[in-house]
Each structure stands twice: as C-alpha cells, then as structure tokens.
C-alpha cells in the first residue's frame, strides 16, 4: 500500500525513536483483535484506523505537542470501548509495542493489584477499585502507572466513611444519546439521480464502502483506473490523455458524495454532513505499468501520485487520505 497524503505524522516510540504513523499496520492489528474477540469486521477495522489517522493529523495541525505511540494505543482503545467491544480492547492491547501501555486500566486487574498494596482491606477494595477505574476513565487515562493507581486508592480508602472520611461520589458518565447509524451501500445510493454516476457504480469503476457513523463520518471510494481507460485509444497513455476521464471520475465521486450526504441527513445525522471522503486507487500499480508504460516501482509511484493530484484538484471536497495499490 502506498500512502499519497501530503503530510506525514511522526510518532515517538517508548525508546525515543520516531517513525511515520502506519494506518495499515493499525488496521491489521484491529482486524486481528476483532477476529480473536469474535467480532471479525474488516470495514470496522478500516474505519477505526482512518478515524485515528485523521485525529492524529488534526492534532499535529493544531498542537505542537509530540505524538507518542501511547497516544495511538489510547485513542484506538477508547474508540473500541465506546463501541462496547471490551474483548477487542483487551486483544488489541496485547499487541501493543513493548513499553507503550504501562498498566491496563481494568477494574478486576486494579482490584488484584490493590490487594497487594493494601492487604487486609477486605471488601473495601471492591468499591475502591471501581472508583479508581472510573476516575482514570474520567480523566482519559486508559493506561496509568502503578504509583498513580496506588495514590488514588489510598485517597479513596482514607476518605471512606468507615475511616472517618466523607463518601466521595463516583464520576457520572452519560451515554451518548445519538443512536448508532449504519448506512449500507444501497442506503447511500438511494438518493442518487446522476445517470453517469449510477453507471460508474454499476460497472464497478467506483465502489463505495458502507458508513458506520458511530465511528467516523467518512465516505470511502475505491476507484478502478482500468475501468476509466477502456474507451481510450490503445498505446501508452499520458496524463494529458487521461485528464478528461479523471475529471469525469471526479464529477461522479462528487455526485456520489452529495447522494451520501442526503442519505445521512435522511437518517437523522445531518450534523455529520458534508461527509469527509477518502480515496483508494485500487489498481494503480497495474494501470501505471500496463497502460502508462511505467517499468519500475519508482516510476509507477510517481505516475500514481500525479494521477492522484489531478483527481484531488478536480474533486469538490479534497479527500483526507489517498492511497493506491
């Protein structure tokens, strides 16, 4: 997979080394975590990876803080947890790079840990473990060092009524009231009136992925470049000869995006529109080799990047991520 985005997000690992963030590696880890937890779903893994990628890019754009590998782990775990996939959270954390997560915040594991720190506290540790867990969740600390957990537990134990303290209320968590919204491909295409766009979908020149608005309001396009070239003259194609077909493809994707916006609004999620988009050139390496005469990987990547640039400039809404295979 080749990433054609203009900006690279650098991540600092626990050893102090930086490396570009790899959404595809994250997607693979998510697919495995979902599989072993009994909820295999490649669309879900892709959507979460794209949401994390977008969030990291936004953070880089708005904040000078260094991004760390722990940020990726915590953000991904929070999304899985919000979806109610706690088994997947645990499976995902088991694949974290060494040193990234220092202590997994789970009530039972906190309870076992506190028993070693405060022996003889009896049933009071059950309530204390729960309070520590909710406190860490409320401050966004999905991973915490043992020292922090110990100090929080000591605070709650000393504040308990049986120890002469005043009962502290537990943080209240309000569930999101917006219902989850899943839009299938048929849902997204229902408002579509553009005959050329309908034909492009029917002939699989452009494919749409379903949208799960619980995660991220993004419309993902797969574009088949070989489908665009079927009516063009034989012989090596140039960017100039391809430009009209690319502009038509951009018009098609614009129409599809407007239809998806309408479907999203009809489902009661107008605030999620206009939808963000992501574009994948699904056969770029084959196309640049067979149709454009590129012989080396370097040439193929350069041609793919150039074609992606033409599409970017022609689309009404610029994709947040462009990739090619």
Q: Please tell me whether residues 263 and 187 are part of one structural domain.
A: yes
Q: Please tell me whether residues 35 and 76 are part of one structural domain.
A: yes
Q: Please tell me whether residues 199 and 69 are part of one structural domain.
A: no
In a domain, 44, yes or no: yes
Query: 119: part of which helix (H) or strand (E)?
Result: none
Give φ, ψ of 224 to 5 degrees.
-100, 105
In a domain, 175, yes or no: no
Q: Please tell me whether residues 271 and 303 are part of one structural domain.
A: yes
- Average pLDDT score over residue span 225-237: 82
What distance in Å separates the CA atoms of residue 320 and residue 53, rounded to the nearest whole number?
A: 9
In a domain, 214, yes or no: yes
Last-in-domain residue among 65, 93, 121: 93
Q: pLDDT-derived band of residue 9, with 50, 70 and 90 as boundaries?
A: confident
Q: Please tell me whether residues 112 and 186 are part of one structural domain.
A: no
Q: Please tell me whether residues 153 and 226 are part of one structural domain.
A: no
Q: Cα 181 from chain centroid?
A: 16
Domain with 312, as residue range(s), is: 182-324
Read off the tokens for 82. 């919000």
Last-in-domain residue among 58, 93, 128: 93
What distance in Å separates the CA atoms of residue 263 and residue 178, rounded to the nearest whole number?
A: 17
Alpha helices for 211-290 (secondary structure H): 225-228, 239-266, 284-290
In a domain, 43, yes or no: yes
In a domain, 61, yes or no: yes
Q: Please tell me whether residues 258 and 320 are part of one structural domain.
A: yes
pLDDT tens readout for residues 88-109: 988 998 888 766 655 555 677 7
pLDDT higher than 80, residue 57: yes
8 A C-beta contact, residue 127 and residue 111: no
**3-state SS, residue 242:** helix
In a domain, 7, yes or no: yes
Q: What is the DSSP letter of 275?
A: P
In a domain, 291, yes or no: yes
- Average pLDDT score over residue span 59-82: 80
* Residue 162: predicted pLDDT: 60
What sign for the dihedral angle of Cα 135, 140, 143, 148?
negative
8 A C-beta contact, residue 242 and residue 307: yes
In a domain, 173, yes or no: no
- Detail the DSSP E strand segments found in the chain: 2-3, 10-12, 18-20, 182-183, 206-208, 211-212, 218-223, 276-281, 321-324
What distance in Å separates the CA atoms of residue 188 and residue 201, rounded to the nearest whole number?
A: 12
Q: Please tell me whether residues 252 and 121 are part of one structural domain.
A: no
Q: Given the DSSP bridges, would you call strands 321-324 and 276-281 parallel, antiparallel or unpaired? A: parallel
Read off the tokens for 190. 């229902």
* Residue 139: predicted pLDDT: 67
Quote the number of domains for the chain: 3
Q: Please tell me whether residues 276 and 159 are part of one structural domain.
A: no
Q: Please tell me whether residues 131 and 211 are part of one structural domain.
A: no
8 A C-beta contact, residue 85 and residue 30: no
Q: Angle CA(250)–CA(256)–CA(258) in degrees, nearest 5?
A: 105
| 173 vs 20, residue with greater confidence | 20
Q: Please tell me whether residues 212 and 277 are part of one structural domain.
A: yes
8 A C-beta contact, residue 320 and residue 276: yes
Task: Give me the chain's average pLDDT, please.
Answer: 83
pLDDT tens readout for residues 154-196: 888 887 766 554 443 443 433 344 444 789 999 999 999 999 9
Give me the percent of the chain exceeding a pLDDT of 90: 41
Last-in-domain residue among 93, 115, 137: 93
**3-state SS, residue 321:** strand
8 A C-beta contact, residue 80 and residue 214: no
Q: Please tell me whether residues 159 and 269 are part of one structural domain.
A: no
Place of tokens 């840990």: 113
């Amino acid at each position: 997979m080749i990433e054609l985005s203009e900006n690279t997000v650098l991540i600092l690992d626990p050893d102090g080394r930086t490396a570009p963030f790899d959404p595809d590696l994250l997607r693979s880890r998510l697919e495995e975590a979902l599989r072993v937890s009994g909820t295999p779903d490649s669309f879900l893994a892709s959507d979460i990876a794209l949401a994390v990628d977008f969030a990291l890019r936004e953070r880089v754009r708005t904040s000078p803080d260094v991004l760390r590998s722990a940020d990726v782990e915590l953000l991904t775990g929070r999304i899985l947890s919000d979806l109610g996939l706690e088994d997947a959270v645990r499976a995902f954390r088991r694949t974290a790079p060494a040193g990234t997560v220092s202590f997994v915040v789970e009530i039972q594991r906190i309870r076992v840990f506190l028993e070693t720190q405060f022996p003889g506290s009896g049933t009071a540790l059950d309530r204390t473990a729960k309070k520590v867990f909710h406190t860490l969740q409320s401050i966004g600390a999905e991973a915490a060092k043992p020292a922090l957990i110990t100090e929080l537990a000591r605070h709650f134990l000393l504040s308990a009524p049986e120890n002469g303290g005043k009962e502290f209320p537990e943080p209240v968590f309000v569930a999101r009231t917006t219902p989850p919204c899943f839009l299938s491909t048929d849902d997204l295409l229902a408002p579509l009136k553009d005959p050329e766009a309908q034909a492009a979908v029917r002939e699989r020149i452009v494919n749409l992925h379903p949208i799960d608005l619980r995660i991220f309001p993004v419309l993902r396009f797969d574009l088949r470049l070989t489908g665009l070239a079927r009516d063009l003259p034989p012989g090596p194609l140039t960017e100039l000869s391809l430009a009209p077909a690319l502009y038509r493809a951009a018009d098609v994707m614009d129409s599809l995006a407007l239809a998806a916006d309408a479907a999203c609004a009809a489902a009661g999620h107008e605030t999620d529109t206009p939808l963000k988009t992501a574009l994948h050139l699904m056969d770029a390496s084959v196309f640049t080799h067979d149709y454009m005469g590129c012989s080396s990987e370097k040439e193929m990547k350069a041609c793919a990047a150039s074609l992606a640039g033409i599409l970017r400039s022609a689309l009404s809404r610029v994709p947040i991520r462009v990739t090619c295979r």
